[in-house]
Each structure stands twice: as C-alpha cells, then as structure tokens.
Amino acid sequence: MKVLDRYIIQKYLQMFFFMIGAFIVIAVVMDVSERIDDLIAAEASVWEIITEYYINFIFFYANLLSGLLIFLTVILVTSNLAQKSELVAIISSGVSFQRLLVPFMIAASFLVVLSLLVVHLILPKANEIRLAFEDEHIRHAFNIEQTNLHRELQPGTIYYFRTIRASSNRGHDFSIEHWTDDGLLREKLFASKAVFIPEDTLWSLYDVQVRKYASDGSEEVITQKQIDTTLNLRISDFGQREENVFAMNYFELNDFIEEEKSKGSDKVPQWQIEKYQRTSNAFSILVLTLIGFSIASRKKRGGMGVHLLLAVLIGFLFIFFQRMFNVAAVSIDIPPMLAVWMPNFIFLIFGLILYQRAPK
C-alpha cells in the first residue's frame, strides 16, 4: 500500500470515527435530558443505567447514524482535498482519477465488514440488554392495538381473539376451531373472555360454549360457566413489541419469520425487511462513498458548503427512497428483498453517472 493510500484511508477513518463519536455524545445528552425523570424514578443504580442502557444505546444509535455519517465523511475528506488543490497535485503527479478512488473504497470496504459484524453479531445482544432495561424501568405496559386476530398455531387449529389486553394477559371473544385435513370443521369453542395465569401456565375461559360437528351432520353443544385448561398458546403469539425483533440475531430472526408465516401473521414482510436491511445498509456504504467522492472531487466556488448541502439533499433522498420501497413492500406486495436492495441499485447507477461525469 502506497503512502497516498495510507494518507487518504487514515483521513477517512479518523473523520468517520470523530463524527460518530460527536453525534453519539449529542444523542446521549438529548436522551438523558428527555428521560431524566424516568431514570431518577427507576429502581436502578447509576452503574446499571450506564452499563445496561447507555453502553448498548451507543451501539444502537451508532448503527442508525453510520450510513449518513459515512456519506458526510467522504464529502468532507474529498472536498477538503479538492479545496486545498491536493487532488490537482495528486493527479498532476501521474495518479489517475480511477486510482484515486481506490483508498476510499478500501476504507469503505473495511467499514462494510465492520458494519456486518456489528449488525449481525454485536447489535442484537446489545439491543436485548437495552430493551430489557427499558421494559423493566422505563416503558409503559404493552398492549396489542389490533383487533380480530387469527393465528393457526398448529395445523388445523385456529385461535381467534376479537381484542387482547396484553398488560393483563387477557382477551375477549375468544374461539378455537379444529379443522380436518379435508377442510371440515369438527369442533369450535367459544368463550366471552380468556385469561392467562402465568404462575400456573393455565388459561381460564369464561362463558364457554363448545360445538362438536359429527360427520353425519349432527351437532352437539356443551356449555360451561368456566374452564381452566392448558393451551399451546401465548399472548405473544398474537403480538409483541416490534423493537424485540432488533434483539434477534440472524438465525433467531429467520426462525421467528418462519414461525410468523406458519401463524398467518400479516407482519411477515415487515420482519423480512428488517432481515434484508441489515445487510443492504452495510453495502450502501460503498454506494454512498462512490457518490460522495464523485460530487466532492469537483472544486466549486461555494467551497465545502456546497458539497455539504448536496450531501444532505442526497442523503435525505436516499432515506426517502428506502422508506418508500419499504412501504411498498408492506402495502402492495413488492418482494421485500427487492424493495430493500432497490435503493442501492438506483443510487449505484446515479453514482456511476456522477463518476463518469466528474472532472478527471
């Protein structure tokens, strides 16, 4: 590796880690000011708040901000070289414009690998600890807002709740249907209320009516005021905090998605987007580096300010495209993998056009 490569890679990485550190400090200060009352009221020591919440908070927000900050880093480093005429001197010494891009892509590739390691191995565990702390000390009770929920948790067995109150482990207008393999309903249980008792792992069903359908068309009806029974059923089968998915590693998330598919959950595309985005966001670093280098390598009269303005506009446009395709995957059945990777492909083409048109 030449001296020039080490020089540019060092400036790239130093600027990135400086910016990520500065923004994390701002994020922590803002979070402390927002949650100070909750943290004071929490039955947790200062050591627990720091080690269980804020250390893991840093990993979460560092990953959240890394894409935009890497883009700004490339803009700042390249623009600084251009404004000081260092790029002109480097190219005049015989280094081609294409060769000048190499150290930027080497540094970006290092950050891609680092991002993949963090998002697939380190971040899920950090989120698990942080979310557990929030559940215990900060957040309010979780409730499922959706109504008319169906889940096929075992083949041929469909559970239904009209409404669920997760905070009290109960639901209303509960039913269980048992279907045969050839699509015939054999038994249906109705209950006005179903309450889960965690300490006994039992369900208490109230105002119960059981209808059994015989093959000859006859029907038997059994009614009971209350039944205490065990069911292969949990409140979490019908819903849980969406943030809990962030605490799952790659393999746990795969298993969770397959489980949600078998239940007939309508949120499967949302979880698939989370799965694919963990990888696509890392590779967007290469795309944003190409775009940033191509823009900032032009020496403009407005100086670095013009480059930063363009960086902010393009950065927000990239985020807008990501959100737009994610919504499309959920609402109009675009394949989640295509929706997640499409912004990268679109902006890669945009970056190649800018690179070809950049003055060399």
Q: Is the pLDDT of residue 112 over 80?
A: yes
Q: For residues 124 and 222, state if they share a domain.
A: no
Share of the chain above pLDDT 70, in %: 90
Q: What is the average per-residue pLDDT within 214-223?
A: 82
Instruction: List the single range of 51-60, 98-107, 263-272 with lowest mean pLDDT.
Output: 263-272
Q: Do residues 260 and 271 make contact, with C-beta atoms less than 8 angstroms apart? A: yes
| Domain termination site, one of 237, 253, 279 | 237
Kindly state whether residue 302 falls inside one of the protein's structural domains: yes
Q: Is the pLDDT of residue 44 over 90?
A: no
Q: What is the pLDDT of residue 110?
A: 93
Q: For residues 130 and 9, state if they share a domain.
A: yes
Question: Could you report the per-residue pLDDT of 323-333, keeping only the tens digit for each?
Answer: 888 888 877 77
Q: Is the pLDDT of residue 307 over 90?
A: no
Kindly state whether residue 242 falls inside one of the protein's structural domains: no
Q: What is the pLDDT of residue 349?
A: 93
| Domain termination site, one of 220, 237, 254 | 237
Measured CA to CA, the distance from residue 54 to residue 269 in angstroms comes to 31
pLDDT band at 113 (very low <50, low <70, confident <90, very high): very high
pLDDT band at 283 (very low <50, low <70, confident <90, very high): very high
Kindly state whether residue 247 falls inside one of the protein's structural domains: no
Q: What is the average per-residue pLDDT within 7-35?
A: 89
Kindly state whether residue 252 falls inside one of the protein's structural domains: no
Domain containing 175 equals 149-237
Amino acid at position 65, single letter:
L
Q: For residues 66 and 105, state if they share a domain.
A: yes
Q: For residues 229 and 306, state if they share a domain.
A: no
Q: In this predicted model, which residue has the larger pLDDT, 93 or 342?
A: 342
Q: For residues 25 and 111, state if they share a domain.
A: yes
Q: For residues 292 and 346, state if they share a domain.
A: yes
Q: Is the pLDDT of residue 143 over 70?
A: no
Query: Residue 248, by phi and psi: left (phi above 0), alpha (psi -120 to 50) or beta?
Result: beta
pLDDT band at 96 (very low <50, low <70, confident <90, very high): confident
Q: Is the pTM of this model over 0.95?
A: no
Question: Could you report the per-residue pLDDT of 149-166, keeping only the tens digit for each?
Answer: 888 777 888 888 888 887
Measured CA to CA, the distance from residue 6 to residue 13 in angstroms comes to 10
Q: For residues 156 and 197, state if they share a domain.
A: yes
Going from the C-alpha of 173 to that of each of 155, 194, 222, 234, the distances in angstroms are 22, 8, 17, 16
Measured CA to CA, the distance from residue 195 to residue 206 in angstroms comes to 9
Q: What is the average per-residue pLDDT within 56-62?
A: 88
pLDDT band at 360 (very low <50, low <70, confident <90, very high): low
Kindly state whether residue 167 falls inside one of the protein's structural domains: yes
Mean pLDDT of the chain: 83
Please give the torsion angle defined by the CA atoms of residues 36, 37, 39 and 44, in that order, rounded to the nearest 10 degrees: 150
Kindly state whether residue 262 falls inside one of the protein's structural domains: no
Tokens read off for 102 = 């190499």
Q: For residues 117 and 174, state if they share a domain.
A: no
The side-by-side arrangement of strands in the sheet containing 149-154 is 149-154, 157-165, 170-179, 185-197, 202-213, 219-229
Q: What is the pLDDT of residue 202?
A: 84
Q: Is the pLDDT of residue 305 over 70?
A: no
Kindly state whether residue 263 falls inside one of the protein's structural domains: no
Q: For residues 26 and 56, state if they share a domain.
A: yes
Domain count for the chain, please give it.
Answer: 2
Q: For residues 130 and 153, state if they share a domain.
A: no
Q: In this predicted model, which residue has the larger pLDDT, 262 or 248?
A: 248
Q: Is the pLDDT of residue 49 over 70?
A: yes
Q: Which of 198, 165, 161 is nearest to 177 (CA)?
A: 161
| Domain termination site, one of 237, 256, 279 | 237
Q: For residues 92 and 175, state if they share a domain.
A: no
pLDDT band at 6 (very low <50, low <70, confident <90, very high): confident
Going from the C-alpha of 150 to that of each of 157, 161, 212, 264, the distances in angstroms are 10, 7, 20, 8
DSSP assignment letter at 140: P
Tokens read off for 262 = 């078998």
Q: What is the pLDDT of residue 141?
A: 59
Q: Do residues 174 and 195 make contact, with C-beta atoms less than 8 angstroms apart? A: no
Question: Could you report the per-residue pLDDT of 226-238, keeping only the tens digit for each?
Answer: 888 888 787 777 7
Kindly state whether residue 244 falls inside one of the protein's structural domains: no
Share of the chain above pLDDT 90, in %: 13
Question: What 3-state DSSP class applies to 239?
Answer: coil
Q: For residues 126 and 159, state if they share a domain.
A: no
